[in-house]
Structure 1
Amino acid sequence: MLTPCEIRHFHLFAGLGGGARGFNRGAARVGNLVARFRCIGGIDNDAAAMRDFKALAGVPGTVLDMFDREQFTAFHGHEPGPDWREATPQDIQRAAGGERPHIVFLSAPCKGFSGLLSETKSKTAKYQALNRLTLRGVWLMLEAWADDPPELVLFENVPRLATRGRALLDRITAMLRSYGYATAETTHDCGELGGLAQSRKRFLLVARHIAKVPPLLYEPARRPLRAVGDVLGRMLLPGDLRAGPMHRVPALQWKTWIRLAFVEAGSDWRSLNRLAVADGVLRDYLVVPTMFRGGLGVRGWDETAGAVAGESLPLNGAFSVADPRAADAAAQYQQYGVRRWADTSGAVTGQSAAGGGAHSVADPRCPGVLHNNAFRVVRYADHAQAVTGGTGAVGGCVADPRRDGPTFGKYAVTPWAEPAGTVISGSTTGQGAFAVADPRSGMAADRGAYLTGGHYGVVRMDEPSGAVSAAACHDNGRWSVADPRMPAATDNLVAVIAAEDGTWHRPFTTLELAALQSLVDPEEQLELDGLSDQAWRERIGNAVPSDAAQAIASEMGRTLLLAWSGQTFSLSAAPVWVRPVAVGLSVAQGAAA
């Protein structure tokens, strides 16, 4: 008989619950012992994230500010209000529902250690207070269960913590060891642990309580990174309302769409440097149908400028300059980078915007772009294309001149004065007595009302339109307009521009970022709290990928089952946690029910 063993996990700095969701899905078995993972709670200071936590983790989260008073003042720049109080170890216990966890997972705020933050700014009082919050969170957790410590503690953060936060990390390690833990540090790619379509390098510190868990903890198996198209290809096209509001295409500035279209797939903004510019304009392309003289022109550094007028703008003349004193291009972090459909994405962060990195994809599913030979009709005198198992509308038609009678040609129309073809049971599908040229249509050429109805009519921008009727449509009246308002460079809009490679270079949607983080299956919808894409993206980018957390939880569960079954040694092909991959540890013993 299989014996279920409950493994309780708790999450500090839990965010929206990506890690908790993954831990709930952990699976482990040693002999007849089978792990059953259960989340007992989580803590974060973001109320919206805690509402998402309940949806993803299945249990309520607790909104709690874990700053001490000094840290609060340094971070916010003012004293806390009269209702604020410092968190205590008892608050941590209450957040766990009075239960004791076997595993505690911490993913502390990482902005102070991130490489996206300058060294100077990271040393300000605000970010130093945020960094110290990490240490305080660990202390609160250890004190909350000091009489019965959690068996395993996992601390996750950005890789730069090991260097920029070395002093703080040493204090955390010393604190854990004083409570009886053995610790190990490493940097892993969460994409490899979870088999994701993104590469996400993270720092992991693992602590094992020596007295309670004698067996060693081994590293989860690594899996190859997947192509981003493996995930996105299973989703509806961006903008499809059936996928919900999180799958809408972000509205970008017009100039950003143009830049994305010129970026080579797999590259970034540096592709724009390869565009040929002659006399201040793009030599090989027209950016818009009509331009003023020299529009978007760029003057050479050693050239004379044109006359400066009251409307000296980049769009209406050569009013820009090729300044050779540009900052180091390598420091721009791949702005406007476009991933190939078969490539792995970069790490999803809270700032995953098209202008901030390689956060766009060359989507081969460009709306309105057909595959080669689609609906191709071969001339009767030409040779056919290769016959394939999928030959249908793709290169599978012929212009047959042998139209001999209404019963032969598909969709044949019989003249009014001729006999019909044979009436067959399928006469409604384009064969047999299918159609007739009925002269009683009333569509005579002298039909004045039709001729003057304005079908497909286009109204000038400075003219009034006709009366709007319930049936107003572009093909039954003057229901189109000659709109002269081409988008300005800074206008926000959603555009589909087929790039040179025939794909749609576009930003990832918020739902796609969540799918790359394995927070939602590609075929499913996800509804996070609120209505702000920016807030959604920040919480998604801060989340721990669920599939990576599941792999870690499964390995931890196996170690706990070994400890609870009395085994203090297990034969493994791999060293402990920080070194290469472990193979399956144990074979089921005895008969399984």
Structure 2
Amino acid sequence: MTPVEIRHFHLFAGLGGGARGFNRGESRVGQLEARFRCIGGIDVDPAAMRDFQRLAGVPGTVLDMFDREQYRAFHGAEPAADWREATPQDIQRAAGGERPHIVFLSAPCKGFSGLLSESKSKTAKYQALNRLTLRGVWLMLEAWADDPPELVLFENVPRLATRGRALLDQITAMLRAYGYATAETTHDCGELGGLAQSRKRFLLVARHIAKVPPLLYEPERRPLRAVGDVLGRMLMPGDLRAGPMHRVPALQWKTWVRLAFVEAGSDWRSLNRLAIEGGQLRDYLIVPSMHNGGLGVHRWEEPTGVIAGASRPGNGSFSVADPRAPDGALQYQNYGVLPWDQPSGTVIGVKSPGQGTYSVADPRLPESSARHTQMFRVVRWDRHSATVTGSQQVGSGAACVADPRNHGADFAKYAVADWQRPAGTVISGSTTGQGAYAVADPRSGMDADRAAYLTGGHYGVMRMDQPAGAVSAAACHDNGRWSVADPRLPESTDNLVAIIRAEDGTWHRPFTTLELAALQSLVDPEEQLELDGLSDQAWRERIGNAVPSDAAQAIASEMGRTLLLAWSGETFQLNAAPVWVRPVAVGLSVAQGA
């Protein structure tokens, strides 16, 4: 294969999600293979440009592209004395003096977003932000007017096509004046990149007619993935081995409760189906879980948990919901033996001892059994023996004794010698559980009056009104008194991390910041991501503004194939994919979408 470099540049670059995706583009035509390289990016946010260098692999340029009038309208004040308007030469410097083959623009979209009211979008501030889009396109076209980029991709919110129609017409006219054919489409970036999110975006694609004769085709669409396909590959939320971006957001208590009652796949409208009486939920009660499943009862058909050394009902799930008949229903107590003085259960057709209580403890012994009364009998140490007979077998008489003396200490496993008795024989393996292994030493080495040293206070709980002990370097709840009986309970407006088991048996929780980045394909689920700063809010804003890397990769791959076709002299390739950008003559005569 012959490698061919394709250079790409990014205006309004954000943290570099689009640039990262373009770097990973894959295109081949014949013996030509594309190698994508980012030559720079521009954004007004310094933190975003530091992130851009991490994700795109090249430095970004912090540059304000407002003109003076737009600056005053947006900020409501004059710029600083050292501020100056950006020029086409600034764009060239940001690209390192190189010319790109592809320019990607993802201009600020707040003025066009449906999240902004119609009246607010018409204010001077947001109109200035909208006009910044037009100015950015003009600066880019002027920067390389003598040698235009082959392809230009303009990405924004779908509402731009309606709320920003007048502005969009100006951008389209400007591109055509510089020799480009254009097309407007709306795509789901999730389908382009095979993401686990649906992200509808407006795409204006421009192809320089003189430089790129072939048609530009749309990228292949792929089915959306389940969100669990991505999140299931990540560490559990809150596990900081994945970094600080994976912490669970602290929400208000009332928000956690609302989330728990929203049906999965639905939204706040699920709450309308709850019955409320006197300001309280009529049909539900939120009950805190006991520690480690205390007083837990297993269903009959499910396995039990790990059996601990102290498996009691009060410290774990060590009880079972037994479907078999309770005490008194004796007919179901297999191999049951009735006391002599109690009635029998119901007599049914099956009457074998293994199928119910069909045996009795009969105090009467037949005379014929007298000769067998001593079989396998064990004589107590303080009683006399029965008659010594000629038979020496234990099954034929009282031939056994319960001897309290331990004469086998030398061979006892893990034997512990009494402090006042001799030790067993010291053998070569006395450290492996055999021989003179251990001793019950009555000396504790502690002064009985020094109560603080009699116990480490493991799992100790302090009262709220008493002081704590000295905080040690290894202080933990299980090695001292490092817990407190806190009488304060959260108010509905208090922020906290709560786990409420919803009715569907799951934890309804917000995405972590790292999970949002993974859904945007900015990071692989098994990897960590470090963004500039320490604010989740700032991280989330930059992540939400980013172009999904996998979607950008799919677009770059299709653009790269078009460029390779043009550079190899091909003007047509049989393709079943829809045509994205037609020649300008056809584009003007055929209505979009027809």
TM-score (norm 2): 0.71
Instruction: Say whether the 8 Å CA contact 1:186–1:578 is kept in structure 2.
Output: no
Specify the alignment match of 1:482 in structure 2: 485
Specify the alignment match of 2:558 in structure 1: 555
- 1:375 aligns with one of 305, 316, 332: 305
| Pairwise CA distance, 1:253 | 1.3
| Pairwise CA distance, 1:76 | 0.5
User: What one-letter code is carried by the residue in structure 1 that aligns with 2:573?
Assistant: S
- The alpha-carbon distance between structure 1 residues 139 and 434, as it changes in their structure 2 partners (threshold 3 A), is farther
| Pairwise CA distance, 1:498 | 2.1
| Pairwise CA distance, 1:575 | 2.9
Specify the alignment match of 1:157 in structure 2: 156
Specify the alignment match of 2:509 in structure 1: 506
Gaps of 5+ in 1: 290-367, 384-414, 580-593
Instruction: Say whether the 8 Å CA contact 1:109–1:134 is kept in structure 2.
Output: yes
1:496 maps to 2:426: no
Task: Give distance in 2, aligned partners of 1:556 and 1:467.
Answer: 66
Q: Secondary structure at the residue paired with 1:504? A: coil
Work out which of the two has the higher radius of gyration on C-alpha atoms and give 1 or 2: 2
Specify the alignment match of 2:169 in structure 1: 170
Task: Give distance in 2, aligned partners of 1:435 and 1:26.
Answer: 72
| Pairwise CA distance, 1:465 | 4.3
Task: Give distance in 1, aligned partners of 2:512 and 2:436.
Answer: 48
Instruction: Say whether the 8 Å CA contact 2:181–2:581 is kept in structure 1.
Output: no
- The alpha-carbon distance between structure 1 residues 550 and 471, as it changes in their structure 2 partners (threshold 3 A), is closer
1:119 maps to 2:118: yes
1:535 maps to 2:465: no
Instruction: Say whether the 8 Å CA contact 1:416–1:439 is kept in structure 2.
Output: no
Deviations 1:94-148 (A, max 9, x none): 1111111100000000000000000000000000010011111111111111111
Instruction: Say whether the 8 Å CA contact 2:216–2:581 is kept in structure 1.
Output: no
1:521 maps to 2:521: no
Deviations 1:166-224 (A, max 9, x none): 11111111111111110011000000100101000000010001111000000111111
Q: Secondary structure at the residue paired with 2:186? A: strand
What is the 5 A alignment of 1:181-580? 181-287=180-286, 373-375=303-305, 417=406, 456-465=459-468, 474=477, 478-577=481-580
Task: Give distance in 2, aligned partners of 1:461 and 1:435.
Answer: 49
- The alpha-carbon distance between structure 1 residues 559 and 460, as it changes in their structure 2 partners (threshold 3 A), is same
- The alpha-carbon distance between structure 1 residues 209 and 505, as it changes in their structure 2 partners (threshold 3 A), is same
Q: Secondary structure at the residue paired with 1:10? A: strand
Q: Secondary structure at the residue paired with 1:230? A: helix
Task: Give distance in 2, aligned partners of 1:416 and 1:104.
Answer: 94
Specify the alignment match of 2:12 in structure 1: 13
Specify the alignment match of 1:147 in structure 2: 146
Deviations 1:554-585 (A, max 9, x none): 00000000000001111112330279xxxxxx
Q: Secondary structure at the residue paired with 1:7? A: strand
Task: Give distance in 2, aligned partners of 1:267 and 1:171.
Answer: 40
TM-score (norm 1): 0.71
Task: Give distance in 1, aligned partners of 2:405 and 2:207.
Answer: 91
Instruction: Say whether the 8 Å CA contact 1:247–1:509 is kept in structure 2.
Output: yes
| Pairwise CA distance, 1:442 | 7.5
Q: Secondary structure at the residue paired with 1:226? A: coil
User: What one-letter code is carried by the residue in structure 2 that aligns with 1:93?
Assistant: Q
Specify the alignment match of 2:62 in structure 1: 63
RMSD, aligned α-carbons? 3.3
Instruction: Say whether the 8 Å CA contact 1:154–1:206 is kept in structure 2.
Output: yes
Specify the alignment match of 1:74 in structure 2: 73
Deviations 1:244-286 (A, max 9, x none): 1111111111211122122221111222222222233222333
1:33 maps to 2:32: yes
- The alpha-carbon distance between structure 1 residues 432 and 101, as it changes in their structure 2 partners (threshold 3 A), is same
- The alpha-carbon distance between structure 1 residues 421 and 30, as it changes in their structure 2 partners (threshold 3 A), is farther
- The alpha-carbon distance between structure 1 residues 457 and 28, as it changes in their structure 2 partners (threshold 3 A), is closer
Identity of aligned residues (%): 84
What is the 5 A alignment of 1:576-591? 576-577=579-580
1:102 maps to 2:101: yes
- The alpha-carbon distance between structure 1 residues 476 and 57, as it changes in their structure 2 partners (threshold 3 A), is closer
Q: Secondary structure at the residue paired with 1:100? A: coil
Task: Give distance in 2, aligned partners of 1:131 and 1:369.
Answer: 62
| Pairwise CA distance, 1:435 | 13
Q: Secondary structure at the residue paired with 2:9? A: strand
User: What one-letter code is carried by the residue in structure 2 that aligns with 1:373?
Assistant: P
Instruction: Say whether the 8 Å CA contact 2:276–2:282 is kept in structure 1.
Output: yes
Task: Give distance in 2, aligned partners of 1:554 and 1:497.
Answer: 45
- The alpha-carbon distance between structure 1 residues 217 and 280, as it changes in their structure 2 partners (threshold 3 A), is same
Deviations 1:263-322 (A, max 9, x none): 221111222222222233222333578xxxxxxxxxxxxxxxxxxxxxxxxxxxxxxxxx
Q: Secondary structure at the residue paired with 1:498? A: coil
Instruction: Say whether the 8 Å CA contact 1:416–1:436 is kept in structure 2.
Output: no
